[in-house]
């Protein structure tokens, strides 16, 4: 989500930089004749994000030949860092991290072994880590990121300070609390016997059951700015046609 409340000078400079990227005129020198092979390199600007601190800009560049890129640029950088096939960039709320999905090259999309990944960039050091995952979600305090794995119901919790990983299975859905370090998860098992809702305290590494039954749990929701949690429980009843 774009932080529309950022009013720092750094954010203003990055906004100007984006305008320059969009509207800089071409030089007056004689332009070469375009060949058919050149058309694939035509670029257009996609989604962009400015970090909460206003020091970083991440923007998608889409090309006709589908060799799309995510470009990441700092306030003091002369050139952009390029992530091939990067999309969906999101900054952590503390501005320390940037996560994004990395797609598959167009010529490998029919390859069963080719998988999309999630990239995680440490903006202070510039180091990047990639994970075999389909989606991600930062905790509200920016210390943790939850990664949805390729295995059915697999969720990985990454401690961004410690670099450690915790794996959860049979997860149907999950939500971070407004306080940031509590993760509520809905468990869905094939038999239904292990269904329920559990609470992970990511900072302490403890997992506590809140409720369990063979019912289905849906619409997990935290109260805004509080640690109250609500969930719908659905069960079969002979007196009704549906749940």
Q: How much of the chain exceeds pLDDT 90, in percent?
A: 61
CA distance 229 to 28: 62
Nearest to 170 by CA among 197, 200, 210: 197
Is the model more confident about 225 or about 176?
176
pLDDT at 1: 40
pLDDT of 185-202, one tens digit each? 999 998 888 999 999 999
Range of weakest confidence among 14-28, 32-46, 155-169: 14-28
Neighbours of 103 (CB within 10 A): 20
DSSP code of 160?
A: T
* Residue 4: predicted pLDDT: 44
- Residue 131: pLDDT band with limits 50, 70, 90: very high
The whole-model pTM stands at: 0.79
- Burial (0-12, 13-18, 19+ Cβ within 10 Å), 191: exposed
Q: Is the pLDDT of residue 123 over 70?
A: yes
pLDDT for the residue numbered 11: 63
Spatial distance between the Cα atoms of 185 and 173, rounded to a whole number of angstroms? 6
Q: Quote the longest CA-to-CA distance of the chain.
A: 80
User: pLDDT category, 238, cuts 50, 70, 90?
Assistant: confident
State pLDDT tens for residues 27-40: 556 777 767 666 66
Rounded Cα distance, 80 and 7, in Å: 23
CA 153 vs CA 62, 113, 117, 139, 218: distances in Å: 32, 20, 17, 19, 15
Neighbour-count burial for 16-39, b at 16+ CB within 10 Å, e otherwise = ebbeebeeeeeeeeeeeeeeeeee
The secondary structure of 65-129 as a DSSP string is: TS--EEEEEETT-SS-EEEETEEEEEE-TTSSEEEEEE---GGGTT-TT---EEEEEETTT--EE
What proportion of the chain, given as a percentage, has pLDDT over 70? 86
Which pLDDT score, from 0 to 100, does residue 60 have? 95
CA distance 74 to 232: 44
pLDDT for 135: 96
For the chain, give the mean pLDDT: 87
- CB within 8 Å of 192: residues ≥ 6 apart: 214, 215, 216
Quick one: which of 160, 172, 157, 149 has its CA closest to 91?
A: 160
Cα angle 224, 5, 142 (rounded to 5 degrees) comes to 55
Instruction: Tell me the sheet residues that pair with 44.
Output: 62
């Amino acid at each position: 989500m774009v932080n529309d409340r950022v009013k720092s000078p750094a954010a203003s400079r990055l906004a100007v930089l984006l305008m320059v990227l969009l509207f800089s005129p071409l030089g007056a020198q004689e332009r070469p004749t375009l060949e058919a092979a050149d058309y694939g390199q035509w670029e257009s600007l996609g989604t962009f994000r400015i970090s909460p601190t206003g020091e970083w800009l991440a923007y998608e560049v889409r090309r006709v030949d589908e060799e799309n890129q995510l470009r990441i640029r700092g306030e003091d950088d002369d050139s952009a860092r390029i992530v091939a096939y990067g999309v969906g960039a999101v900054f952590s709320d503390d501005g320390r991290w940037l996560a994004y999905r990395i797609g598959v090259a167009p010529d490998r999309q029919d390859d069963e072994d080719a998988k999309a990944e999630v990239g995680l960039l440490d903006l202070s050091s510039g180091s990047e880590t990639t994970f075999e995952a389909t989606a991600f979600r930062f905790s509200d305090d920016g210390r943790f990121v939850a990664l949805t794995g390729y295995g059915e119901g697999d969720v990985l919790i990454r401690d961004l300070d410690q670099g450690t990983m915790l794996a959860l299975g049979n997860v149907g859905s999950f939500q971070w609390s407004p306080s940031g370090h509590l993760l509520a998860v809905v468990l869905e098992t094939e038999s239904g016997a292990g269904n329920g809702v559990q609470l992970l305290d990511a900072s302490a590494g403890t997992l506590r059951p809140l409720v369990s039954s063979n019912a289905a749990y849906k619409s997990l929701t935290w109260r805004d700015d509080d640690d109250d949690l609500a969930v719908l429980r659905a069960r079969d009843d002979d007196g009704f046609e549906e749940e």
